[in-house]
Amino acid sequence: MRRLAFAFVTVMVLVLTQVGASASWSPSSSGAGYSAGLWIGPATTTVATETGSTSIHITWVAPSGASATPTQYVVRRTAPSTATVCTVSGSTFACDDTSLSASTLYTYTVEARIGTNWSSGQTSGFSATTSAPPDFIVSVTAGNKTAGTAFTATITATTDGVTTDTSYSGSKTVTFTGPADSDSGQAPLYPGSVSFTSGVGSASIKLYNAATATLTATAGALTGSTSITVVAGAPSKLGYTNSSPTCASGSVHVGNGGSFVSKVTMFDAYLNPATQGTSRSVSLTKSVGTGSLSPTTLTIGIGSSETSGSFTIAIPTGNPPNRTVTAASSGITSVVCTVKK
Protein backbone atom coordinates (compact mmCIF):
# COMPACT_ATOMS: atom_id res chain seq x y z
CA MET A 1 0.00 0.00 0.00
CA ARG A 2 1.47 3.29 -1.13
CA ARG A 3 1.35 5.98 1.37
CA LEU A 4 1.26 9.50 0.34
CA ALA A 5 3.00 11.98 2.63
CA PHE A 6 1.85 15.55 2.57
CA ALA A 7 3.82 18.40 4.00
CA PHE A 8 1.69 21.26 5.13
CA VAL A 9 3.33 24.65 5.19
CA THR A 10 1.54 27.50 6.84
CA VAL A 11 2.46 30.85 5.47
CA MET A 12 1.69 34.10 7.17
CA VAL A 13 1.90 37.01 4.79
CA LEU A 14 2.79 40.49 5.93
CA VAL A 15 0.97 43.07 3.89
CA LEU A 16 2.27 46.63 3.50
CA THR A 17 -0.36 49.11 2.43
CA GLN A 18 -0.27 52.79 1.62
CA VAL A 19 -3.53 54.57 2.26
CA GLY A 20 -3.75 58.24 1.39
CA ALA A 21 -1.02 60.07 3.31
CA SER A 22 -0.53 57.31 5.93
CA ALA A 23 1.16 53.94 5.99
CA SER A 24 0.31 50.80 8.00
CA TRP A 25 1.34 47.21 8.33
CA SER A 26 -0.36 44.18 9.90
CA PRO A 27 -0.43 40.39 9.58
CA SER A 28 -2.98 39.13 7.05
CA SER A 29 -4.96 37.36 9.79
CA SER A 30 -5.28 37.18 13.54
CA GLY A 31 -4.69 34.22 15.79
CA ALA A 32 -1.53 32.78 17.32
CA GLY A 33 1.36 35.23 16.85
CA TYR A 34 -0.95 38.03 15.75
CA SER A 35 0.47 41.58 16.09
CA ALA A 36 -1.64 44.69 16.17
CA GLY A 37 -1.20 47.00 13.18
CA LEU A 38 1.24 49.91 13.32
CA TRP A 39 -0.18 53.17 12.00
CA ILE A 40 1.42 56.57 11.56
CA GLY A 41 -0.50 59.51 10.18
CA PRO A 42 0.72 62.77 8.65
CA ALA A 43 1.76 65.81 10.63
CA THR A 44 -1.04 68.35 11.14
CA THR A 45 -1.41 72.15 11.35
CA THR A 46 1.47 72.78 8.97
CA VAL A 47 2.34 76.48 8.72
CA ALA A 48 5.01 78.43 6.83
CA THR A 49 5.68 82.02 7.94
CA GLU A 50 8.01 84.48 6.27
CA THR A 51 10.56 85.93 8.68
CA GLY A 52 12.18 88.40 6.29
CA SER A 53 13.24 88.71 2.70
CA THR A 54 15.50 85.62 2.83
CA SER A 55 13.96 83.23 5.39
CA ILE A 56 10.81 81.24 6.22
CA HIS A 57 9.88 79.57 9.53
CA ILE A 58 8.08 76.18 9.25
CA THR A 59 6.01 74.63 12.05
CA TRP A 60 3.75 71.60 12.44
CA VAL A 61 1.90 69.52 15.03
CA ALA A 62 2.39 65.80 15.69
CA PRO A 63 0.00 63.31 14.00
CA SER A 64 -3.20 62.70 15.90
CA GLY A 65 -4.51 59.22 16.74
CA ALA A 66 -1.34 57.40 15.62
CA SER A 67 -0.52 54.06 17.25
CA ALA A 68 3.15 55.04 17.51
CA THR A 69 5.07 58.27 17.99
CA PRO A 70 7.21 59.50 15.08
CA THR A 71 10.95 59.34 15.68
CA GLN A 72 11.76 62.06 13.16
CA TYR A 73 10.30 64.58 10.73
CA VAL A 74 11.64 65.50 7.31
CA VAL A 75 10.78 68.95 5.89
CA ARG A 76 11.16 69.35 2.13
CA ARG A 77 10.97 72.38 -0.11
CA THR A 78 9.06 71.48 -3.27
CA ALA A 79 8.88 74.79 -5.16
CA PRO A 80 10.28 76.84 -6.79
CA SER A 81 13.33 74.65 -6.08
CA THR A 82 13.57 71.28 -4.34
CA ALA A 83 15.64 70.57 -1.25
CA THR A 84 15.49 68.79 2.09
CA VAL A 85 15.27 71.72 4.49
CA CYS A 86 15.79 69.76 7.71
CA THR A 87 15.54 66.38 9.38
CA VAL A 88 14.69 66.72 13.06
CA SER A 89 13.81 64.47 15.99
CA GLY A 90 10.26 63.44 16.82
CA SER A 91 10.19 65.97 19.68
CA THR A 92 10.95 68.95 17.41
CA PHE A 93 8.18 70.73 15.52
CA ALA A 94 9.87 73.63 13.74
CA CYS A 95 12.76 74.55 11.46
CA ASP A 96 13.90 77.44 9.26
CA ASP A 97 14.61 77.69 5.55
CA THR A 98 17.24 80.38 4.93
CA SER A 99 19.26 82.01 2.13
CA LEU A 100 16.10 82.39 0.04
CA SER A 101 15.20 84.95 -2.62
CA ALA A 102 13.12 88.00 -1.76
CA SER A 103 9.46 88.34 -2.88
CA THR A 104 9.27 84.63 -3.78
CA LEU A 105 6.62 81.98 -3.04
CA TYR A 106 8.06 78.81 -1.45
CA THR A 107 6.14 75.55 -0.89
CA TYR A 108 6.88 72.83 1.67
CA THR A 109 5.81 69.37 2.85
CA VAL A 110 6.42 67.52 6.12
CA GLU A 111 6.94 63.74 6.39
CA ALA A 112 6.63 61.89 9.71
CA ARG A 113 8.76 58.76 10.09
CA ILE A 114 9.33 55.88 12.49
CA GLY A 115 12.87 54.64 12.08
CA THR A 116 13.83 54.11 8.44
CA ASN A 117 10.94 51.89 7.31
CA TRP A 118 7.66 53.52 8.30
CA SER A 119 6.52 56.79 6.79
CA SER A 120 3.36 58.87 6.80
CA GLY A 121 4.11 60.09 3.33
CA GLN A 122 4.36 63.80 2.66
CA THR A 123 1.67 66.24 3.75
CA SER A 124 -0.09 68.44 1.26
CA GLY A 125 2.00 71.42 0.22
CA PHE A 126 1.80 74.66 2.18
CA SER A 127 3.43 77.96 1.29
CA ALA A 128 4.72 81.36 2.30
CA THR A 129 6.14 84.29 0.37
CA THR A 130 9.33 86.01 1.45
CA SER A 131 9.06 89.77 1.93
CA ALA A 132 10.47 92.36 -0.44
CA PRO A 133 14.11 93.30 0.07
CA PRO A 134 14.82 96.41 2.12
CA ASP A 135 15.65 99.54 0.15
CA PHE A 136 17.55 100.93 3.15
CA ILE A 137 20.07 98.85 5.06
CA VAL A 138 20.21 100.13 8.65
CA SER A 139 23.17 99.01 10.76
CA VAL A 140 24.71 99.90 14.12
CA THR A 141 27.90 98.82 15.81
CA ALA A 142 27.65 95.52 17.68
CA GLY A 143 26.68 95.42 21.33
CA ASN A 144 24.04 96.90 23.61
CA LYS A 145 23.33 100.62 23.75
CA THR A 146 22.95 102.51 27.03
CA ALA A 147 19.81 104.51 27.75
CA GLY A 148 20.44 108.21 27.19
CA THR A 149 23.81 107.71 25.45
CA ALA A 150 24.11 108.68 21.77
CA PHE A 151 25.15 106.11 19.17
CA THR A 152 25.48 106.18 15.38
CA ALA A 153 23.25 104.31 12.94
CA THR A 154 24.56 103.86 9.41
CA ILE A 155 21.92 103.97 6.65
CA THR A 156 22.72 102.62 3.19
CA ALA A 157 20.41 103.20 0.22
CA THR A 158 20.30 100.23 -2.17
CA THR A 159 18.95 99.40 -5.59
CA ASP A 160 17.91 95.85 -4.73
CA GLY A 161 18.41 95.37 -1.00
CA VAL A 162 22.08 94.47 -1.57
CA THR A 163 23.77 96.82 -4.04
CA THR A 164 24.52 100.34 -2.80
CA ASP A 165 22.78 103.07 -4.80
CA THR A 166 25.72 105.45 -5.24
CA SER A 167 23.49 108.02 -6.94
CA TYR A 168 21.57 108.59 -3.69
CA SER A 169 23.18 111.71 -2.20
CA GLY A 170 22.33 114.91 -0.40
CA SER A 171 20.28 115.80 2.66
CA LYS A 172 17.18 113.57 3.00
CA THR A 173 14.26 113.75 5.42
CA VAL A 174 14.35 110.43 7.29
CA THR A 175 11.70 109.29 9.76
CA PHE A 176 12.74 106.89 12.54
CA THR A 177 10.23 104.67 14.35
CA GLY A 178 10.11 101.63 16.63
CA PRO A 179 11.58 102.09 20.13
CA ALA A 180 9.11 103.28 22.77
CA ASP A 181 9.29 106.21 25.19
CA SER A 182 10.90 105.43 28.54
CA ASP A 183 8.78 105.06 31.69
CA SER A 184 9.86 108.59 32.62
CA GLY A 185 8.15 109.83 29.45
CA GLN A 186 11.37 110.63 27.60
CA ALA A 187 10.92 110.04 23.85
CA PRO A 188 13.73 108.85 21.56
CA LEU A 189 15.84 111.61 19.97
CA TYR A 190 16.38 111.32 16.19
CA PRO A 191 17.78 113.72 13.62
CA GLY A 192 15.23 115.33 11.30
CA SER A 193 17.38 114.71 8.25
CA VAL A 194 20.36 112.60 7.19
CA SER A 195 23.09 113.63 4.76
CA PHE A 196 23.96 110.91 2.22
CA THR A 197 27.15 110.62 0.19
CA SER A 198 27.22 107.99 -2.58
CA GLY A 199 24.30 106.17 -0.93
CA VAL A 200 25.59 106.13 2.67
CA GLY A 201 24.50 108.36 5.56
CA SER A 202 24.83 108.33 9.34
CA ALA A 203 22.46 109.41 12.12
CA SER A 204 23.19 110.18 15.76
CA ILE A 205 20.43 108.65 17.90
CA LYS A 206 19.55 108.52 21.60
CA LEU A 207 17.13 105.93 22.99
CA TYR A 208 15.89 105.93 26.58
CA ASN A 209 13.73 102.83 27.07
CA ALA A 210 15.66 99.72 28.18
CA ALA A 211 14.32 97.05 25.81
CA THR A 212 14.99 95.20 22.58
CA ALA A 213 13.16 96.87 19.70
CA THR A 214 13.17 97.24 15.91
CA LEU A 215 14.56 100.55 14.71
CA THR A 216 13.14 101.53 11.30
CA ALA A 217 14.34 104.33 9.02
CA THR A 218 12.04 105.59 6.23
CA ALA A 219 12.53 108.20 3.52
CA GLY A 220 9.73 108.28 0.94
CA ALA A 221 9.48 104.81 -0.61
CA LEU A 222 12.78 103.69 0.94
CA THR A 223 12.71 101.82 4.25
CA GLY A 224 14.85 99.46 6.30
CA SER A 225 15.15 98.14 9.85
CA THR A 226 17.51 96.67 12.40
CA SER A 227 17.13 95.17 15.87
CA ILE A 228 18.67 97.08 18.74
CA THR A 229 18.98 96.41 22.49
CA VAL A 230 19.08 99.27 25.00
CA VAL A 231 20.15 98.64 28.61
CA ALA A 232 19.63 100.83 31.68
CA GLY A 233 22.12 103.49 32.66
CA ALA A 234 23.77 103.82 36.06
CA PRO A 235 21.50 103.74 39.15
CA SER A 236 20.44 107.27 40.09
CA LYS A 237 17.27 107.00 42.17
CA LEU A 238 15.21 104.64 44.33
CA GLY A 239 11.55 103.72 44.01
CA TYR A 240 8.97 101.59 45.82
CA THR A 241 8.03 98.44 43.87
CA ASN A 242 5.89 95.34 44.39
CA SER A 243 3.97 97.46 46.88
CA SER A 244 0.73 96.57 48.65
CA PRO A 245 -1.05 98.87 48.17
CA THR A 246 0.86 100.90 45.55
CA CYS A 247 2.53 104.21 46.40
CA ALA A 248 3.04 105.29 42.78
CA SER A 249 1.53 108.73 43.53
CA GLY A 250 3.78 109.32 46.56
CA SER A 251 1.10 108.56 49.14
CA VAL A 252 -1.05 105.61 50.09
CA HIS A 253 -4.18 104.99 52.20
CA VAL A 254 -3.98 101.82 54.32
CA GLY A 255 -7.05 102.21 56.54
CA ASN A 256 -7.34 102.31 60.32
CA GLY A 257 -4.61 100.11 61.80
CA GLY A 258 -3.42 99.19 58.31
CA SER A 259 0.07 98.73 56.89
CA PHE A 260 2.15 99.41 53.77
CA VAL A 261 4.39 96.62 52.44
CA SER A 262 6.94 97.23 49.70
CA LYS A 263 10.30 96.41 48.15
CA VAL A 264 12.78 99.04 46.94
CA THR A 265 14.25 99.21 43.42
CA MET A 266 17.12 101.17 41.86
CA PHE A 267 16.29 103.08 38.66
CA ASP A 268 18.36 105.03 36.17
CA ALA A 269 17.49 108.60 35.25
CA TYR A 270 14.75 107.37 32.86
CA LEU A 271 13.06 104.95 35.31
CA ASN A 272 14.59 101.80 33.86
CA PRO A 273 15.38 99.26 36.60
CA ALA A 274 19.18 99.49 36.99
CA THR A 275 21.76 97.02 38.27
CA GLN A 276 25.36 97.29 39.43
CA GLY A 277 28.33 95.03 40.06
CA THR A 278 28.27 95.34 43.85
CA SER A 279 25.59 94.82 46.47
CA ARG A 280 23.94 97.90 47.94
CA SER A 281 22.41 98.56 51.36
CA VAL A 282 19.11 100.47 51.59
CA SER A 283 18.20 102.14 54.90
CA LEU A 284 14.58 102.71 55.90
CA THR A 285 13.36 105.36 58.34
CA LYS A 286 9.91 106.56 59.41
CA SER A 287 8.72 109.88 60.71
CA VAL A 288 8.53 110.33 64.46
CA GLY A 289 5.42 108.87 66.07
CA THR A 290 3.77 105.63 67.04
CA GLY A 291 3.56 102.67 64.71
CA SER A 292 6.22 100.22 63.57
CA LEU A 293 8.71 99.81 60.72
CA SER A 294 10.47 96.51 60.09
CA PRO A 295 13.12 95.82 58.97
CA THR A 296 15.08 99.06 58.80
CA THR A 297 17.69 97.78 56.32
CA LEU A 298 17.30 95.90 53.04
CA THR A 299 19.88 94.69 50.50
CA ILE A 300 20.01 94.88 46.71
CA GLY A 301 22.23 92.03 45.53
CA ILE A 302 24.92 92.02 42.85
CA GLY A 303 23.36 92.18 39.39
CA SER A 304 19.89 92.86 40.82
CA SER A 305 17.84 96.03 40.77
CA GLU A 306 15.35 95.23 43.56
CA THR A 307 15.76 94.38 47.23
CA SER A 308 15.50 90.69 48.02
CA GLY A 309 13.05 91.35 50.85
CA SER A 310 10.21 93.72 51.74
CA PHE A 311 9.63 96.15 54.60
CA THR A 312 6.37 96.82 56.46
CA ILE A 313 5.28 100.08 58.06
CA ALA A 314 2.13 99.86 60.21
CA ILE A 315 0.06 102.67 61.73
CA PRO A 316 -1.93 102.25 64.94
CA THR A 317 -5.69 102.27 65.25
CA GLY A 318 -7.54 105.39 66.26
CA ASN A 319 -6.87 108.67 64.53
CA PRO A 320 -3.07 108.85 64.16
CA PRO A 321 -1.33 111.45 62.00
CA ASN A 322 0.16 110.48 58.66
CA ARG A 323 3.48 108.64 58.69
CA THR A 324 6.25 108.86 56.10
CA VAL A 325 8.75 106.14 55.23
CA THR A 326 12.00 107.04 53.48
CA ALA A 327 14.29 104.63 51.59
CA ALA A 328 17.84 105.87 51.08
CA SER A 329 21.16 104.60 49.76
CA SER A 330 24.50 106.32 49.36
CA GLY A 331 25.02 108.29 46.16
CA ILE A 332 21.49 108.01 44.70
CA THR A 333 18.23 109.89 45.23
CA SER A 334 16.03 108.62 48.06
CA VAL A 335 12.29 107.99 47.85
CA VAL A 336 9.50 108.92 50.30
CA CYS A 337 5.98 107.50 50.73
CA THR A 338 3.33 109.14 52.90
CA VAL A 339 1.25 106.48 54.64
CA LYS A 340 -2.27 107.61 55.50
CA LYS A 341 -5.07 106.05 57.54
Q: What is the pLDDT of residue 41?
A: 84
The C-alpha angle with vertex 189 and arms to 186 and 194, in degrees rounded to 5, equals 170
Using one digit for the tens of pLDDT, what is the confidence trace for 120-135?
Answer: 889 999 999 998 888 9
Q: Which amino acid is at 209?
A: N
Q: What is the pLDDT of residue 33?
A: 31
Using one digit for the tens of pLDDT, what is the confidence trace for 258-298?
Answer: 999 999 999 999 999 999 999 999 999 999 777 899 999 99
Q: What is the pLDDT of residue 204?
A: 97
Q: What is the pLDDT of residue 5?
A: 36
Written as one string, the DSSP assignment of 34-98 is --PPEEE---EEEEEEE-SSS-EEEEEEPPSS-SS--SEEEEEEEESS-EEEEEEETT--EEEE-
Q: What is the pLDDT of residue 132?
A: 84
- Cβ proximity of 302 and 279 under 8 Å: yes
The neighbouring-strand residues paired with 79 are 107
Q: What is the pLDDT of residue 38?
A: 65
Q: What is the pLDDT of residue 37?
A: 58
Note if the pTM is more than 0.75: no
Q: What is the pLDDT of residue 223?
A: 92
Q: What is the pLDDT of residue 161?
A: 83
How far apart (Å, rounded) are the C-alpha atoms in residues 42 and 120?
Answer: 5
The neighbouring-strand residues paired with 215 are 226
Please name the residues in contact with 153: beta carbons below 8 A apart, sequence gap of 6 or more.
138, 139, 140, 202, 203, 205, 215, 217, 226
Q: What is the pLDDT of residue 304?
A: 97
User: pLDDT averaged over consecutive 10-residue blocks of the chain (341 residues)?
Assistant: 34 32 36 48 94 92 84 96 96 95 94 87 95 89 96 93 92 97 97 96 98 96 94 97 94 92 98 96 90 95 97 89 94 96 86
Q: What is the pLDDT of residue 271?
A: 97
